[in-house]
Amino acid sequence: MTLERTLSIIKPDGISRNLIGAVIGHFERAGLRVVAARMRRLGRPEAERFYAVHHSRPFFASLVDYMTSGPVLVQVLEGEDAVRKNRELMGATDPARAAPGTIRREWGESIERNLVHGSDSLETAREEIHFFFGAIDVCDRTDP
Ligand code: ATP
Ligand code: MG
């Protein structure tokens, strides 16, 4: 098992419902560490680019509306097997189908308003981290 990094986003519903601490606590208790974080508002072009893989899906415009409806918290999580572990902690896309105890099951409102994003592979994680952060933003645990 190697140390990995993955991109996590607390989506606008998580911010407006004041769940930042609850969500990050979930990650920390599972052994993931926040090594970069920034709150920001996504513009439409940025949200469209981030979710470009879904551009032909029927829910795309609505997804972009949702992701631009308020600030998000973008963060890099580090830990053993971080990509898979983050996805496991998030739960299935549809909160109704997510396993008990997962973030989406606990707080997600619908298949769209599901509170968190997580990279789905190590390769996607690299691209997504690069999308939001430069090397100088990521603070390794060995940093003074
Ligand atoms: P994410 O990429 O946000 O981590 P995911 O990998 O579990 O979620 P994807 O299939 O990549 O799911 O979908 C991206 C996002 O699009 C979902 O998190 C959700 O907000 C929205 N979405 C996915 N499927 C639907 C759907 N059928 N109807 C409405 N919105 C959807
Ligand atoms: Mg996805």
Q: How far is the CA of 59 from the centre of ligand 1 (A)?
A: 9
Minimum CA distance residue for ligand 1 atom 1 = 117
pLDDT digits (tens, 9 = 90+) for 64-117: 999 999 999 999 999 999 999 999 999 999 999 999 999 999 999 999 999 999
Which residues in 17-53 are b (16+ Cβ under 10 Å) and which e? eebeeebbebbeeeebbebbbeeeebeeebbbebbee
Query: Mean pLDDT score of the chain, rounded to an integer?
Result: 96
| Nearest residue to 116 (alpha-carbon basis) of 76, 69, 72 | 72
**What would the pLDDT profile of 94-103 be if each residue is shown by its tens digit?**
999 999 999 9
Look at residue 86 in the predicted model and tell me its pLDDT: 98
pLDDT of res. 1: 67
**C-alpha separations of 83 from 26, 46, 144 in Å:** 15, 23, 26
Helix (H, G, I), strand (E, B) or coil at 138: coil
Using CA atoms, how far residue 116 sits from 136, 141, 143, in Å, is 24, 24, 27
| Residue 10: count of CB within 10 angstroms of its CB | 24
- The rounded distance, in Å, linking the Cα atoms of 55 and 58 is 8
The pTM of this model reads: 0.96
- Per the structure block, which two tokens stand in for 105? 């099951």
Tell me which of 142 and 91 has the higher pLDDT. 91
Of all protein residues, the one whose alpha carbon is nearest to atom 10 of ligand 1 is 93
Task: Please tell me if the CB atom of residue 110 comes closer than 6 angstroms to any atom of ligand 1.
Answer: no
> What is the pLDDT, as a whole number, of residue 37?
98
Residue entry with tokens 């060995």: 142
| pLDDT value at residue 142 | 66
